[in-house]
């Protein structure tokens, strides 16, 4: 300890101010704890600054451009529609600034002490926070690790000016003429779609059998159809081998069907997954147990094997979702306060902001059967819904997975416009133990997309009105 470094004492110390950390800090403060939150970069974490929020702003702008060019069917014609990409970036940055400023205000309003710097564990109740100029020791009763994750870098695709990760893709100053995307997961598909809407010639290289691994084929088929409409190319079972940078672009080499291919582009976006930020925290100093993938092992209250230290979000097992991190943050804060809160992931939704949007919650048919449930599936198409037709956006369906014996809703899948918003009703249905009959008996406003959920429930009951049984 340096001379003059007197330890600052706090009840709960949170490391990382992303959607897991800042939510945990606020909930802990609400429960009467003295809270300190440590952030080495910007409040809001990856999600608000270089992830969920800016990507949705970019996707939204891409939709507006696409709509302006293709509204002829509604009798609306616009000539010479152009994009000022600097203005798009200005809009995106403005959204980010509002939200990060709002989060900082929420932390301060809840009397959370915000500290900038990098945290290193000294022991089970002590950390050191370091910045460029100084170091400070903090003593805590409990700590919550919420340090998130970072993009995986491939050895043959080192990041550079032209080989970029998702952060780089969000901050381009120009619309590329051509872009190669390595990895057809959520990030690759979302950003690939956004740039395809702006007119970029996009090629997605996916090593597996299909894009969006783990997603039902009925859904991925719709996404691929829409990507093709935009002039994008999807190559599956494609192994990216290497990249050669030129003065103004890249040449990507990949292998498919045993043959080596080359493709030129302005940029190559590498989106092959993310790894947890657990390697520079001094966890070994405290003896915190990790999995082989570097994830922190936790119990149902997000507590590690060291009783005073908790972990949430991308540093623990499970899907890397901002809302999962926020949920776990609340559980950890409540557990520290002595409450009996435990995690329950059955009704955790997952969303892809592709075209069409995809949203799932609970079990799909295969997962339900693996869990030993006797289920049936009921599907209703967007094409039979008046609101979807009026939006000129009728691709997709709502599917309910219900238990045969009593109609209990155990899962749902939606592909279609506003799927990201519609999935909440079905998450609530699962959480509340509702049946298909409960949903069917709930009067839904007309004409709305929400009616499709009611109609799917009626299909499950064998009494559909707007499709022939």
CB 249 within 8 A of CB 264: yes
pTM over 0.85: yes
In a domain, 147, yes or no: yes
Residues 102 and 127 both lie in one domain: yes
- Predicted confidence at residue 1, as pLDDT, reads 42
Residues 189 and 265 both lie in one domain: yes
Domain count, the chain: 3
Residues 308 and 258 both lie in one domain: no
Domain CATH for 223: 3.50.50.60
Which residues touch 209 (CB under 8 Å, ≥6 apart)? 236, 237
| Helices 186-197/52-69 angle, 10° precision | 40
In a domain, 245, yes or no: yes
Residues 85 and 101 both lie in one domain: yes
Count of helices and strands (H, E) across the chain: 14, 22
> CA dist 431 to 140, 248, 437, 455, Å?
35, 52, 16, 20
Domain boundary among 272, 295, 326: 272
Residue range 157-192, pLDDT digits in tens: 999 999 999 999 999 999 999 999 999 999 999 999
What mean pLDDT do residues 212-228 have? 97
Average pLDDT, the chain: 96
Residues 363 and 442 both lie in one domain: yes
Domain boundary among 289, 313, 336: 336
- Give the residue numbers marked as catalytic: 446
- Predicted confidence at residue 132, as pLDDT, reads 87
- Predicted confidence at residue 324, as pLDDT, reads 98
Residues 264 and 296 both lie in one domain: no
Q: What are phi and psi of 44, to 5 degrees?
A: 110, -20
- Predicted confidence at residue 420, as pLDDT, reads 98
Residues 248 and 259 both lie in one domain: yes
Q: In angstroms, rounded to a whole number, what is the distance separating the alpha carbons of residues 295 and 66?
A: 40
CB atoms within 10 A of CB 106: 16
Residue range 234-247, pLDDT digits in tens: 999 999 999 999 88
In a domain, 157, yes or no: no
In a domain, 294, yes or no: yes
Residue range 404-461, pLDDT digits in tens: 999 999 999 999 999 999 999 999 999 999 999 999 999 999 999 999 999 999 999 9
Domain CATH for 396: 3.30.390.30
Residues 98 and 183 both lie in one domain: no
Residues 32 and 98 both lie in one domain: yes
Q: What percent of the chain has pLDDT over 90?
A: 97
What mean pLDDT do residues 368-391 have? 98
| Helices 21-30/85-109 angle, 10° precision | 30
In a domain, 229, yes or no: yes
In a domain, 140, yes or no: yes
Residue range 145-163, pLDDT digits in tens: 999 999 999 999 999 999 9
- Predicted confidence at residue 3, as pLDDT, reads 44
Residues 67 and 168 both lie in one domain: no
Residues 53 and 110 both lie in one domain: yes
In a domain, 111, yes or no: yes
User: Is the peptide bond preceding residue 76 cis, with omega within 30 degrees of 0?
Assistant: no
- DSSP states of 375-389: EEEEEEEGGG-HHHH
4 pLDDT above the threshold of 70: no
Residues 64 and 132 both lie in one domain: yes
Domain boundary among 218, 250, 272: 272
In a domain, 1, yes or no: no
Q: In angstroms, rounded to a whole number, what is the distance separating the alpha carbons of residues 34 and 237?
A: 52
Q: In angstroms, rounded to a whole number, what is the distance separating the alpha carbons of residues 242 and 219?
A: 31
Domain interval for residue 201 = 163-272
Residue range 104-147, pLDDT digits in tens: 999 999 999 999 999 999 999 999 999 988 999 999 999 999 99
């Amino acid at each position: 300890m340096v001379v003059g470094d007197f330890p600052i004492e706090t009840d709960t110390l949170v490391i990382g101010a992303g959607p897991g950390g800042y939510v945990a800090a606020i909930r802990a403060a609400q429960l009467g704890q003295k809270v300190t939150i440590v952030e080495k970069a910007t409040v809001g974490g990856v999600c608000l600054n270089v992830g969920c929020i800016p990507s949705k702003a970019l996707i939204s702008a891409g939709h507006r451009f696409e709509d302006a060019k293709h509204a002829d069917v509604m009798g609306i014609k616009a000539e010479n529609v152009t994009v000022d990409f600097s203005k798009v970036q200005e809009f995106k940055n403005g959204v980010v600034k509002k939200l990060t400023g709002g989060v900082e205000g929420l932390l301060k309003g809840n009397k959370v002490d915000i500290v900038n710097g990098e945290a290193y564990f000294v022991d089970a109740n002590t950390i050191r926070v370091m910045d460029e100029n100084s170091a400070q020791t903090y003593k805590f009763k409990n700590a919550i690790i919420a340090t998130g994750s970072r993009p995986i870098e491939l050895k043959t695709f080192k990041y550079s000016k032209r080989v970029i990760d998702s952060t780089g893709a969000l901050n381009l100053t120009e619309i590329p003429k051509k872009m190669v995307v390595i990895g057809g997961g959520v990030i690759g598909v979302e950003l690939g779609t956004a740039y395809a809407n702006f007119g970029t010639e996009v090629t997605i290289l996916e090593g597996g059998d299909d894009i969006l691994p783990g997603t039902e084929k009925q859904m991925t088929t719709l996404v691929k159809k829409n990507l093709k409409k935009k002039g994008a190319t999807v190559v599956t079972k494609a192994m990216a081998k290497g990249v050669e940078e030129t003065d103004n672009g890249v040449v990507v080499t990949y292998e498919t069907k045993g043959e080596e291919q080359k493709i030129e582009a302005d940029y190559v976006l590498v989106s092959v997954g993310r790894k947890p930020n657990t390697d520079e925290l001094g966890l070994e100093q405290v003896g915190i147990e990790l999995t082989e993938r570097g994830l922190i092992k936790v119990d149902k209250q997000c507590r590690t094997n060291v009783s005073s230290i908790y972990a949430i979000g991308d540093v623990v097992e499970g899907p890397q979702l901002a809302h999962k991190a926020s949920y776990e943050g609340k559980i950890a804060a409540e557990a520290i306060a002595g409450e009996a809160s435990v995690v329950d992931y059955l009704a955790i939704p997952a969303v892809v902001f592709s075209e069409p949007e995809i949203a799932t919650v609970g079990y799909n048919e295969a997962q339900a059967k693996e869990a030993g449930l006797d289920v049936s599936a009921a599907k209703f198409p967007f094409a039979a819904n008046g609101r979807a037709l009026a939006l000129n956006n009728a691709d997709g369906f709502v599917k309910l997975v219900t238990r045969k014996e009593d109609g209990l809703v155990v899962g749902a899948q939606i592909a279609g416009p506003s799927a990201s918003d519609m999935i909440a009703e079905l998450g609530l249905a699962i959480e509340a133990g509702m049946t298909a009959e409960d949903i069917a008996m709930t009067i839904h406003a007309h004409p709305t997309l929400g009616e499709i959920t009611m109609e799917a429930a009626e299909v499950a009951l064998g009494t559909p009105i707007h499709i022939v049984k």
